[in-house]
Structure 1
């Protein structure tokens, strides 16, 4: 059973996606560094790609999105390593049938794939603990990941960056695949937000 590390960038973009569309469900794909030699002792989730905020299960759009993300990931030595979803109901933190189906499909290609459900009730600019539920695929079922095996990339720094970006409404800049399909000029890799997160992380670490 491998360890799991989630980066500031991946966590931030999940939160920004949920904040961008607070009254609806959102979902996305988690990306990780490609393990050397097959399996890795630690799965490092480095980024995520926001998918949809309208029709989460629209098959044709999902196929287009996953194909493009897979091709882009190959160029950057990344893999599709999981799925995240925030439900529309504030108190609903269960993995929906849609989430189970899409995450199950990803696990067919990467056995260590994870499934994250955001806890809407605990989402805030400065949560004391990560407001997420993390599941892993084991014996044909999705079960909670052992919390002792989950690491967060400098959680206190992540909290500060989250607070800063939410307070300045950076979520307005976030582009998901729905928005990209409406206007292909919109960058679904969200490099602008990635640079902003990197800049804030550098300042927090005392770098210029």
Structure 2
């Protein structure tokens, strides 16, 4: 996933780790997913050159990341029906493609019923209105979130993505996308699968 103003990041990704996809190594395909903004015309022009951008019909804001994520899942189930695995990541993340392929091969069976990545088993909602991750009691009255994988990047099977899309029709909207996906995972009876190869910058 990307933000409209992050063209430099998208170009850097295209010129670095996405080169593996351009050389068709490992049958990997990618798209950048964005919402509407004042830059929509520029994004359409960029896509005319790159043919790798999907624009959703919602405003591209932080509080709409859940819409963006679910759009990506819906798009994958419709346009990637022959895919075995799907990875969601952000435009400020570096993906080591050979390492990703190894991780998928090593965890292929587990990922048929789980989402893998850098997973937190439990976390508490932040009630401070000044926080980027603020959650009101009205939007989330529980004391703890279900376990979740960091939204910076996770991988799973198309089978799981399909189940999440289907169950999302019965899960009320929540603006923190990694928590929302976790709610769908929990309701589906699916699992989290911590994978050591997924590291966040503050893990170092």
Comparing both structures, which one devotes a greater share of its residues to strand? 1
Q: Which structure has the larger Rg over C-alpha atoms? A: 2
